Structure 1
Amino acid sequence: MADFDDNKARASAWFKSLRDQIVAAFEELEGPDGARFEVSPTQRPDGGGGIMSVMRGGRVFEKVGVNWSEVHGNLAPRAQSAMAARGVPGMAEDPRFWASGISLVAHMQNPHAPAVHMNTRMFWTPGAWWFGGGSDLNPCIEYAEDTAAFHGVLQAACDTHGADVYPMLKAWADEYFFIPHRKRARGVGGIFYDDLNTGDWERDFAFTQDVGRAFLPAFLPITRARMDTPFTEGDRETQAIHRGLYAEYNLVYDRGTKFGLETGHDANAVLMSLPPMAKWH
């Protein structure tokens, strides 16, 4: 297989630029006297690292992380076996890998403003490459118009790549962001995809970029509309309990969490998705 070094560099640089755009937009939303991101480098002992950006205690965001990473090396035996079981060509014989992406999770101060997740990534092995990612909305107090607006922006981004793309990725998200032991979804869905390799790297990269670009137009208008809504202590209780669902999902089922911990990436960066506070009945 071709070396792909140029493609790797382009993808990694684009994910980092998207991280920069989102961080700037979120700090602008906080206002001139609002919270700011704490930025720190991360290191993977066996190769690569990234940037962890976390903002806490903001006027709008109670906790939000926008992380970028570029890691490489040899997969640990357990991760290698999992990749081989998924049918990744050559993985059973050669454990080398490279991966880069952006990962975002936002937990809001106002219970009427929905939590959100987004990520896009590229993965490479000597025998294969693919893209993955998606975005999903996680309100504790649901508004049908917010759900429709969020999905509408995602659908518009997908529709430029084919009328069948959004329905397929929405159904994939509904299946993926489901909590089996609770028999319910963790939110109101979005889109999700993995193992994207049509054989045309430029085409798949362009699609992944469109998914990333759609995030701010999908999320910011909803946040602006809800962030100053009056709320009660009962609303905060509802929010805390709903955050428990999010924590359960990320610790038990999320592929990114499992991969990050199994490959030795910075645990704080991997677990930045967890809410600052949650409750269980």
Structure 2
Amino acid sequence: MLVHFFVRESPRWLFVRGRKEEAVATLKSITTPSHSSCLTWSFSEVSFQEERWNNGNVFSTIKMLVQKRWAFRRLLPVLVIGFGSGMVYYGMPLGLGNLSFNLYLSVTLNALAEIPSSLITMLLIGKLNRKFSVLAFTTLSGIFSIMCALKGEVWTRLQIGLELLSFFSACTAFDILLIFTIELFPTCVRNSATSLVRQAVVFGGVFGPMLVAAERRDGISSYGVFGLVIGCCGLFAVCLPETRGRALCDTMDEEEHKEKAICNGEGDVLA
């Protein structure tokens, strides 16, 4: 309810869908009066070629993502990374009962770990390379998670600290991944791509309880599996292009043209 009344529709999305008047009205509502009078004239000078949409098919945008080879080459890695991140994000807190530490305190610390993760992402996202950051944080999460599975008196004492570092790294990787996904895809398919990544995260979380139950029943280290999965899934980040500082595109044709220009060494235009 609050979103409906207080959040505006994206002017960029409205403009791409051909709803120019609504886009101008939205921009006028969020700009100062001194600049709002110039918007109508500015948009009247802009011409664009609207994408062909199959409005009768709710899966038209997903079809576009799969049919375009460059889009599919981006979609598949982010889905794999999302799957690994989701398994750790949802599964790791469920396995806290298997650690040699107070359960209530460990749950509280895990919940608090998400706060600095979000703050770091918010404050440093402008300076972080998306590709390297996702790869680095998933690798760190995997290493710390595997270290949680090591046996011995010393490792047992360090378990909660290693688990918190692993969970913090996974949360940070997840936050950056969502921003990365937004920047990888043009406006016309951005919502669908982000939703698919979110579904991959949830799908990965489905296996978390199974691994935790397997550890209690068969002694299989769930944290070792968590570490291997997120570490291996994070390697798919090397298949993605860097998007830091790149201008966001609105249509598939625009993004495809930019991709070809970069491949030809013509560079990119900053937003």
TM-score, length basis structure 2: 0.26
- Choose between structure 1 and 2 for higher RCO, CA contacts under 8 A separated by at least 6 residues: 2
Higher share of residues assigned strand: 1
Higher share of residues assigned helix: 2
